[in-house]
Amino acid sequence: MSGEEQTVDWSVLPYEEGPLYIAKTEKGLCYVGSPGQTYQELSTWIQKRFPKAKLAENEEALRPYIQELQDYLKGTRQTFSFPADVKGTSFQEEIWAALKQIPYGTTCSYSDIAQIIERPTAVRAVGTAIGANPVLITVPCHRVIGKNGAITGYRGGTEMKHYLLQLEAANRGND
């Protein structure tokens, strides 16, 4: 969280299940929303993370982010080049860093993530930290599934999680 006044730019990423609000600070992408989300939900989230921020609709500022996300959703991009500005607890940030290590087109379980961070008994805490991920898709929390292979909770909804996993499976060799 920042104590200084700043502008957080936002725009909308077209997505077949409903537009996704995205936002960025001067440091990078700070938010990718869920299908069906409202502007009010975006505003509330931003105010919690950046209490002195002013939201400004700015498609031009978000254009490079939108382009890379659209390329990903078309199956023509597997990684992102833009910076992110994600803040959380040290534990959340450790989990989000671990998520970024999951290769495109593959999955792992919550307990796998707990093992990676060398806290094998922290599976529930891992799930909670994953659920707090502010930048869907770019920090690939959709790649985490139940130990039994079940598609489990996802802030973007299980339909979106299924879609992203199928997209990646179909395009795994296309880089």
Catalytic residues: 141
**Cα distance between residue 51 and residue 55, in whole Å:** 11
C-alpha distance from residue 16 to each of 3, 13, 40, 149 (Å):
37, 10, 21, 26
Helix axis angle, 123-131 to 90-99, nearest 10°: 80
User: For 74-157, where are the alpha helices, taking DSSP H only?
Assistant: 90-99, 110-116, 123-131
From the number of C-beta atoms within 10 Å of its C-beta (0-12, 13-18, 19+), residue 87 rates as middle
